[in-house]
Structure 1
Amino acid sequence: MDGYRTSPSNSWIYPTVILCLFGFFSMMRPSEPFLIAYLSEPNKNLTTTQITNEILPVWTYSYLVLLLPVFVLTDYVRYKPVIVLQGISFIITWLLLLFGQGVTSMQVVEFFYGMVTATEVAYYAYIYSVVSPEHYQKVSGYCRSVTLVAYTAASVLGQLLVSLANLSYFYLNVITMASVSVAFFFSLFLPMPKKSMFFHAKPSREIKKSLSMSAVLAEPHEGEALGCGKEKSTSEVPATSGNVHDDQRSSPKAKNATLRVFAQWFLDLKECYSSKHLFYWSLWWAFSTAGFNQILNYVQILWDYKAPSQDSSIYNGAVEAIATFGGAVAAFAVGYVKVNWDLLGELALALFSVVNAGSLFLMHYTANIWVCYAGYLIFKSSYMLLITIAVFQIAVNLSVERYALVFGINTFIALVIQTIMTVIVVDQRGLNLQISIQFLVYGSYFAVIAGIFLMRSIYIIYSAKCQKKVQSPAASQNPEGPHSEESRNTIVSTKL
């Protein structure tokens, strides 16, 4: 490890390759599009009601409970142990899927899968602690794209094995088990970072200044984190020596280290969400992600309801592959679209939320499985397009550290909303609605989101037009013209 550290030009290659290999094999899960069909087979003998109301909700609840503790633990133990934990959780999940029987065993499966999803933060955050800032954009693209490629390849492979080779769903899970085991193997070879984003980073003058009035923050810190926002230069983020962690432990002030970190997070969040632009994009992110996760969790049950797997051929793998590819193309296209997002961004959120609502209504009302598949393709591609825009809008004005924090809070809020939705709509202690009716509720949910952002966008556009009329007479007498710096700043400040 020290050897690769001494070669700055190549220091980012080894950890990036290992992490990408971990990401590829952890996402190479050909059995996933056929999970509900597998659980409904005579071997497992689970009813749709048991799967819908007793098993799948456990994932939402466990994910919610684990997310914040894992988020804190990930930074404190410096990522690698949490990535290894994710690998172990993958193996336990698929061992239970292969050999477990009954509702209780499958509920334990969902708990460990909640651990898998909660620990994903380590995968995306790890690389920023072992490479220098000039490589952030490059390695972010590698780490994210490799998971997309793996998921698409796994879906295609699963569909081909089911449709052409007539392979049973059990052996698809055996292949997945082998793949996640390889991922766990690669996780063991990741270099251990010597610094982290928050707990083991050196203090900066900027943070010291912002916290100087706080009695509890005697020795503030600075770190880098998950995301693709504005990065600080290498000189602003000095390399952390291997003794920093030990020095913090030996210092009397280390007793307040956790308190300092949480206080810093609170101040950062307060400053970030004071921006109306960021607040509303984050609001859409949280509410839409809650709905999106709910759709992903239950869409296979809807497909099985429309076309039972015991009576007909299913093409879930092909649909997932096409949907993922379509979403990737849509997300890629965002980089080439020139739009004034400050003015028209929330209108885009409203319009595409209408598309999301319409596709879910289509999935509810149609009796044709192919039309249902088409609705899902539209829904997933639309969401991936918008979430890419939202990520960009939030990240563009934030440091990497703050992006990590905002991302974590937005995800947590989304999980709270999803949990409330699950308890009310799905859980047997709530309304316990039939799967088709659930999608009517989800369509209505996105329709409400669309209505909120449509009203908001109309207000923004109307305010901008009124401001333009007010500014026009003043601009005509301004010797610098309507494009002077003062005029531009006045207009921009009143858009939101």
Structure 2
Amino acid sequence: MSVLHPTLLLCVYGFFSNLRPSEPFLTAYLMGPDKNLTETQVVNEIYPIWTYSYLVLLFPIFLATDYLCYKPVLVLQATSLVVTYVMLLKVQGVLAMQLLEFFFGLATASDVAYYSYIYSVVAPAHYQRVTGYCRSITLFGSAAGSLTGQLLLSGAKVRLVHLVIITLASTAAAFVAPWFLPMPKKSLFFHKTAAAVALLEKAEDPQREQVVSTISSSSETRSHSVVEVIRILFDDFLTCYRCRPLLAWSVWWALSTCGYFQVINYSQALWENVRPSQDYEIYNGYVETLSTLLGALAALLVGYLPVCWAVWGELALCVLSLLMAACVLVMDMLKNIWLCYSSYVLFRATYMLLITVATYQIAASLSMQRYALVFGVNTFLALLLQSLLTVVVVDSAGLGLDVSSQFLIYGVYFAVISLVFLLAALCKLFSRRRSKQQEVLANSRAQTESDSAPAGDGSS
């Protein structure tokens, strides 16, 4: 029962907070008669605020989540989502939409509370199962929302504003669930077992997992100061990123997630250029549903792929990053809505497959504490890169390029990522050949010495 109650509430919250029928049609709604904004205002002035807000709020929310023991931040996230969709329904103008993007950035940054809460209230033996439930239900909610929006738009011919109302109702339903979650009495960093704190600071890497489990099962806790927590995080950061394989997967994570966010954020604007929603029926909801489900399927298939990622990882990242670059360039250059849709689906499925591999490769050798740290750092670096890219390419304060020019840059960006990992794969290959040659040479010398030793003994 102690596992069932919080898991059920989290799944209810995850489903309804991601059930957003208006999401695939947000750009069409903002540029349509309900809001009457221009493409330049939406793409170059409003959407960049989400990126900046997410970046600025991520680290403070990460610390606040741990310090406040998760539940208050979940309530904050639920409140932010309700405020977002109330504003989307009621307010007008660029400034109001920018404030809306800030609240949505706050909600997005608070995802860390949703994905880490469960670890504070259930035993380590249940981590894998409940994580699977929580992650899969969010994907299912997202796919169900996209499909519902498309069916209502195409079949019932509802207006886009009605999809916003349904999304608001869904987030209002989600708002209720976090209030009934049990309040955790411990967390990963600020609130730990007094005995385990000393052990954790002294423990070597293989011992950390056991110590964290001890922390999870103990009821006697003590609090750390912010300075102590930051010191622990920094020490763990240096230890983690000295591992070369982890560093390689983390670099791909940060680089590709930056580009992925940009493509996802601005794809609707590109589709609006290719097939304006005011003149044609659009099928964004079907595309989002299919891409989400295929992405989830790709993530599930990772465990069954007969690939030794330790050997072929860099080459796989090179080839599949090049495929993602090709998808983005096809979306931009061919100006055919069906090719745009197909390329988008393939792009998302490829990313979901690779990010699942990266997640597994990084998490396999880490304790839960370092797991949260590395994933947080990788996400922060991705957002930092995305903010720089947004300032230069998208924001009206920078180049303020139109969406077609942006996608050309994003395609080249993924091609550069592919080149980086091609060079990494070649370096790894040359390093292995050199080590094999040195091993053969060492064995040859040893054999020569052993063959010459008896002759020397006989002559004496």
TM-score range normalised by the length of the shorter chain:
over 0.9
Write out per-residue CA displacement over residues 321-350 of structure 1, whole angstroms, 9 at most, x where no aligned residue.
111111111111110112221221011111
| 1:73 corresponds to which of 64, 74, 85 | 64
Question: Which moves more between the two structures, 41-50 or 82-91?
Answer: 41-50
* 1:465 aligned onto 2:433: yes
Residue 396 of structure 1 is matched in structure 2 by 364
Shift of residue 104, structure 1, vs aligned partner: 1.0
* 1:358 aligned onto 2:326: yes
Shift of residue 473, structure 1, vs aligned partner: 6.8
Residue 375 of structure 1 is matched in structure 2 by 343
Residue 280 of structure 1 is matched in structure 2 by 248
| 2:73 corresponds to which of 79, 82, 103 | 82
Q: Give the structure with the larger helix fraction.
A: 2
| 1:270 corresponds to which of 227, 233, 238 | 238
How many Å separate the matches in 2 of 1:459 and 1:208?
Answer: 36
AA partner of residue 392 (structure 1) = Y
Q: How does 1:237-386 map to 2 (within 5 A)?
A: 237=215, 239-241=217-219, 244=221, 248=223, 257-386=225-354
| 1:175 corresponds to which of 163, 166, 185 | 166
Shift of residue 204, structure 1, vs aligned partner: 3.8
* Structure 2 residues not aligned, in runs of 5+: 448-460
Q: How does 1:182-221 map to 2 (within 5 A)?
A: 182-202=173-193, 203-209=196-202
Residue 25 of structure 2 is matched in structure 1 by 34
Q: Would you say the 8 A contact 1:67–1:118 is kept in 2?
A: yes
Residue 45 of structure 2 is matched in structure 1 by 54
Shift of residue 207, structure 1, vs aligned partner: 2.7
Aligned residues: 443
Give 3-state SS (helix, strand or coil) of 1:237's partner: helix
Normalization by structure 2: what TM-score? 0.93
Shift of residue 205, structure 1, vs aligned partner: 4.3
Residue 157 of structure 1 is matched in structure 2 by 148
Residue 452 of structure 1 is matched in structure 2 by 420
Residue 107 of structure 2 is matched in structure 1 by 116
CA RMSD of aligned residues (A): 2.0
Q: Would you say the 8 A contact 2:249–2:358 is kept in 1?
A: yes
Q: Would you say the 8 A contact 2:78–2:174 is kept in 1?
A: yes
Question: Which moves more between the two structures, 92-101 or 373-382?
Answer: 373-382
How many Å separate the matches in 2 of 1:382 and 1:439?
Answer: 18
Residue 397 of structure 2 is matched in structure 1 by 429
Shift of residue 474, structure 1, vs aligned partner: 6.2
AA partner of residue 263 (structure 2) = I
* Structure 1 residues not aligned, in runs of 5+: 1-9, 212-221, 223-229, 249-253, 480-496
Q: Sequence identity of aligned pairs in percent? A: 50
How many Å separate the matches in 2 of 1:52 and 1:237?
Answer: 47
Q: Would you say the 8 A contact 1:152–1:321 is kept in 2?
A: yes
Write out per-residue CA displacement over residues 441-493 of structure 1, whole angstroms, 9 at most, x where no aligned residue.
000011111001001111212322343344357679999xxxxxxxxxxxxxx
Normalization by structure 1: what TM-score? 0.86
Shift of residue 426, structure 1, vs aligned partner: 0.5
Q: Would you say the 8 A contact 1:343–1:461 is kept in 2?
A: no
Shift of residue 302, structure 1, vs aligned partner: 0.3
AA partner of residue 393 (structure 2) = V
Runs of 4+ that moved beyond 6 A: 473-479
Question: Which moves more between the two structures, 39-48 or 117-126?
Answer: 39-48
Write out per-residue CA displacement over residues 36-58 of structure 1, whole angstroms, 9 at most, x where no aligned residue.
11111112111111001111011
How many Å separate the matches in 1 of 2:200 and 2:117?
Answer: 23
Q: Would you say the 8 A contact 1:93–1:112 is kept in 2?
A: yes
**Structure 1 residues 235 and 386: CA distance shift in structure 2, 3 A:** closer
Shift of residue 374, structure 1, vs aligned partner: 1.0
AA partner of residue 31 (structure 2) = S
